Amino acid sequence: MHNHGFTIAASKSFSLIHSISRLSDLIKFPRIAFSSLRQAHAQASSEAISPPEGGCSLAEVPLRGTPTAHSRFFCEAPKPIKRRCVISQALWRLVPVEHLDYFDPCTRPTLALSVVLDTLYRLKKHTDISSSTASLPNFVLIFADDLGFGDLGSYGHPSSITPNLDKLASNGLRFTDFYSSSPVCSPSRAALLTGRYQTRSGIYPSVFSPGSKGGLPLNETTIAEVLKPRGYVTAIVGKWHLGVGPDRMYLPTNQGFDHYLGVPYSHDQGPCQNLTCFPPDIKCFGVCHQDLVTVPLMANDTIKQQPVSFLDLEKTYNDFATQFISTSIRRKQPFFLYFPSHHMHQPQFAGQGAAGKALRGPFGDALLELDSTVGNLVQTLEDLGVSKNTLVFFTSDNGPSLLRMTRGGNAGLLKCGKGTTFEGGMRVPAIAYWPGAIRPGVTHELASTLDLLPTIAGLAGAKLPRVQLDGFDMSDILFRHGPSKREAMFYYPMFLNETYGLFAVRLGKYKAHYYTQGSSLSDTTPDQACHRTAPLEPHDPPLLFDLEADPSENYNLATPEHPELEAVLQQIQRVKAEFEEGMVFGEAQIAKGTDPTLEPCCTPQCTPKPACCTCG
């Protein structure tokens, strides 16, 4: 096969090789080649003249330029011999070291060729994988915390300073009807990563605590686990909040992520009143948990710092993300970076670069820092030359916390906020950005965080998990500004259970509320229906709103004045019944309770706890 730079000089034993003109033929049909080679060798062996006494002369050949470490042999047979005992030195050097000590390729040429062909097949396969991974897109998924539908400049806020996110929106695709799966944190994160409603994975009711016994079940398949077989390297930096558990079994490195740096739960789940949230020494504002260990910063499953330093946390995260991206590119590996930010959850914090610079006070400073992070990530992709091969997707885990007044977020025209199944609790900002692939614009199509897993899997050519998914591939929306495959959105409450099930259903532009309930997280709005004092209330017939005409859900259409909408309610009821019939609730992970000994502590044997858990 001279056209590939390899030479195999042989007699009739190897005549078949000369009839196969390309290396790809051998690789494409390895079993046929092996069988034919053996048959040819058997025939030629009966005709071959035995070598003279002493056999072939052996010439020592250094392996891969390391003559002192390993020496291998090829045969230079005397000229009179009819069957030359020659295996190309260059070809034999390709064979893995572990095969080379077991036999002499000259005396067992058929076996040697079998090994060589197997090696070439593996090299070809590796080359194919390398070529395919080189063209695979990268993914950067940024997940804000408690960011409201109306908090960004691109979504209409008059005083937010978000130049990078606004630029992302103007150069990307901005969604107006994008939803999280839950009005609170942990369930929303589970649905994002698995493409399944939190009911299926058991991430309910409410959210995980530092000492929770449960977590995201290990048999659930995350986006990271979907991408791994395609050669992706994966990392998460930021807030996990899907459980720590016994022996830290639920941390990201057991859920498909190669690298993890972050806080394993919400940064208010620990004593924070004496911690500094803004320079030079402005203490954190908000209700934090004094009876828990201080909030740790973890690297994979090891505590790096406890308590975490808020002032330089975002810089630490940015440095990690930049290094991860640059290392992945240098190694020519496609990457998935999941960046679940702590911003805008209370207590707000910001470093020197953002503190005191915004018009919205502490909330605005934290938002400015989040915006700077987005700008840094996009700039890194551009500087490293991969922005045109990377999908950047930005969204939020749920609506804004309205508890803190000026320190809280903004839902725009939407009703209520975090903790409720009104629009303000679950409709969130979302931006897709991919230069040269996604045309700038605005889409009013219905979509959800649930749709990210099937979309990313489709773009990466990855196999979907063999489970019931609740997401749809958004490619038609992203690349053609086309229609959504999603027809309905289902609203589960913060404290969901099987007794009540769904609180609301959106079908097309109409939304029906079967139950409503206020939340302490939306207490400071003028609307009394949002407050914690608003009890759980069933509605029969359900409340009905036209979200295109009335996004604030102020005008109930399920009244005698609108008999023409009875058919709409019936259709929604059919969709709801079909969905609930197919819903299988997983074991409630958060209901398993807590164990203080499971709280992450860098000095586990210290006393008195939790105050003694400090390091770094």
Q: Give the active site residues.
A: 185, 241
d(CA 260, CA 262): 6
The candidate with the shortest Cα–Cα distance to 509, out of 149, 175, 177, 155, is 177
Going across the sheet that includes 173-175, the strands are: 302-305, 297-299, 259-263, 233-239, 335-340, 138-144, 390-396, 430-433, 173-175, 441-443
d(CA 78, CA 266): 77
Write the Ramachandran bin of 402: left for phi over 0, alpha for psi from -120 to 50, otherwise beta.
Answer: alpha
d(CA 170, CA 155): 11
CA distances from 240 to 117, 233, 276, 312 (A): 47, 18, 22, 19
Contact 512, 569 (CB under 8 A): yes
d(CA 331, CA 323): 12
Amino acid at 584: V
d(CA 243, CA 531): 29
Contact 350, 368 (CB under 8 A): yes
**Radius of gyration of the chain, Cα coordinates, nearest whole angstrom:** 31
d(CA 27, CA 33): 9
126 membership: H or E segment, kind and range: helix 109-135
State the helix-helix crossing angle for 109-135 and 30-47, rounded to 10 degrees: 160
SS3 239: strand
For β-strands 57-62 and 71-76, DSSP reports them as: antiparallel
- Structure-derived torsion over alpha carbons of residues 404, 406, 411, 412, reported in degrees to the nearest 10: 160
Contact 243, 215 (CB under 8 A): yes
Contact 207, 493 (CB under 8 A): no
Beta bridge partners of 212: 594
Beta bridge partners of 335: 233
> 258: which 2 tokens?
């190669």
